[in-house]
């Protein structure tokens, strides 16, 4: 039977080799959220060199930060419109791995193209376009990757495997940032013969990040088998896919209201968590005067504590429940954010101490959310469900940028952290309406 074939397929893919190969994609793909979005390219593209001439330093900062938010909103809208169909068609066609790899290669290509973004206003919108397009392909890849969790881990082990993959990703981010720091600050560029002009050392890091993705995604390509298609739906058109999607949403409201509540709650708090990483480096530069080297050092430390947090979360999640882990983690993030704001007068030490405390809880929150989504969704609809997971997140992706911009533009950069904490608080309150998900024995 189809059910028996699917169960046999899951048993095959939950072998250690397949599970580790799946988790290695977290390691491989970390170059985008860590190097590109959070700590290097995102900070690089908001440098005053990219602003038009004639602006004051404050106006230049506001100009680049505002357009960074606009590019994120545009990519978010496109992801919200397309992501659920990406996931549904991967489910029905049995091509999750194929589309995962295609989108992986595409976002890797955008990282490589960032090498050509020189520190000038002439390249500003080219850089923002690459950032937005890369984000779209990265999100599409993540939809297919997350939907494979149920195929590489037994139901009772999904929390542990999800946290392990997330932790492995942070470890990869550490290695990448150490390499970047060596090239940019500690003689690596000189040793490699890279001229000290036009930010070439930063741009070379983009090329290395591209190769990182391509090389370390190979294990998944080789060792994780392709999923099976759902009979009778292999040739489903895009129009029919959208029709079926809306039918699924209507059915979800009646048959699985807990999943619908979680989609809404997680959309809000995940946008807050994404905002913490998207604007954290910008906040460090604008409010605390950190240079790129200090930002990279913070990024290395942040990945260390975030990875540690994810591995600790792996120990607790299947024991105390995924929702409890998410709620505790959100409280930890909010306490850290408030500490950054309240003790800002202490300078860099406050940013590092409370910022790192905050980062400890981000990994467990994200990984446990992935586990909840997997357990609340039917095995044969994982792709569609994670497509909706991406879509609901992007549907409110304006919240963090709006809160950030509102607080920063009307007050000062340091107030931006309070805007992000407000979004997290709303998400945590909504999560309380979701019934706890019990791990299978």
Task: Find, among 386, 426, 94, the residue nearest to 273 by Cα.
Answer: 426
Q: Mean pLDDT over residues 4-18, rounded?
A: 51
* Res. 265: pLDDT tops 80: yes
* Percentage of the chain lying above the pLDDT 70 cut: 83
Q: Tokens standing for 64?
A: 């680049």
pLDDT in tens, 309-357: 877 876 777 677 888 889 999 999 999 999 999 998 888 899 999 999 9
* Res. 1: pLDDT tops 50: no
| Rounded Cα–Cα distance for residues 149 and 147 (Å) | 6
241: phi > 0 → left, psi -120 to 50 → alpha, else beta; which? alpha
Identify the band that residue 235 occupies on the pLDDT scale cut at 50, 70 and 90.
low
Count how many Cα atoms sit within 13 Å of the Cα of residue 333 in the half-sphere of its side chain: 35
Q: Mean pLDDT over residues 18-28, rounded?
A: 88
Q: What local confidence, expressed as pLDDT, does residue 391 receive? A: 64
How many CB atoms within 10 Å of residue 6? 17
* Res. 245: pLDDT tops 90: no
Q: Tokens standing for 386?
A: 């994670």
Q: Mean pLDDT over residues 393-400, rounded?
A: 71
pLDDT in tens, 32-77: 988 888 778 888 888 888 888 888 877 887 788 778 777 877 887 7
């Amino acid at each position: 039977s189809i059910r028996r074939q699917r169960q046999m397929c899951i048993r095959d893919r939950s072998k250690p080799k397949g599970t580790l190969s799946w988790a290695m994609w977290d390691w491989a793909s970390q170059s985008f959220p860590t190097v590109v979005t959070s700590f290097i390219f995102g900070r690089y593209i908001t440098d005053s060199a990219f602003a038009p001439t004639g602006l004051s330093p404050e106006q230049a900062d506001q100009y680049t930060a505002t357009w960074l938010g606009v590019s994120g909103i545009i990519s978010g809208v496109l992801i919200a419109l397309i992501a659920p169909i990406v996931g549904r068609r991967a489910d029905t066609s049995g091509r999750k791995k194929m589309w995962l790899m295609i989108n992986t290669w595409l976002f890797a290509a955008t990282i490589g193209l960032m090498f050509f973004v020189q520190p000038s206003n002439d390249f500003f919108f080219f850089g923002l376009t690459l950032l937005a397009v890369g984000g779209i392909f990265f999100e599409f890849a993540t939809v297919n990757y997350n939907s494979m969790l149920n195929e590489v881990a037994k139901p009772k082990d999904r929390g542990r495997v999800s946290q392990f993959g997330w932790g492995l990703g942070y470890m990869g981010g550490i290695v990448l940032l150490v390499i970047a720091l060596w090239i940019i600050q500690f003689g690596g560029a000189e040793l490699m013969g890279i001229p000290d002009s036009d930010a070439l050392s930063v741009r070379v890091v983009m090329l290395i990040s591209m190769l990182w993705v391509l090389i370390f995604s190979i294990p998944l390509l080789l060792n994780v088998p392709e999923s099976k298609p759902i009979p009778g739906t292999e040739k489903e058109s895009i129009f029919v896919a959208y029709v079926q999607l809306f039918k699924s949403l209507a059915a979800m409201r009646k048959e699985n209201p807990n999943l619908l509540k979680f989609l809404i709650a997680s959309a809000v708090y995940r946008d807050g968590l994404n905002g913490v990483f998207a604007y954290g480096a910008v906040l460090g530069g604008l409010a605390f005067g950190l240079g790129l080297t200090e930002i990279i050092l913070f990024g290395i430390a942040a990945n260390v504590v975030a990875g540690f947090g994810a591995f600790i979360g792996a120990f607790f999640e299947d024991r105390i429940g995924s929702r409890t882990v998410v709620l505790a983690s959100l409280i930890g993030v909010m306490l850290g954010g408030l500490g950054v704001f309240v003790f800002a007068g202490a300078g860099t030490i406050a940013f590092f101490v409370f910022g790192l405390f905050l980062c400890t809880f981000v990994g467990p929150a994200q990984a446990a959310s992935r586990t909840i989504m997997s357990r609340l969704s039917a095995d044969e609809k994982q792709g569609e469900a994670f497509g909706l997971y991406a879509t609901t997140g992007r549907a409110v992706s304006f919240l963090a940028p709006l809160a950030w911009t509102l607080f920063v533009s009307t007050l000062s950069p340091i107030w931006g952290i309070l805007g992000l904490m407000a979004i997290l608080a709303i998400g945590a309150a909504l999560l309380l309406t979701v019934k706890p998900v019990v791990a299978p024995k």
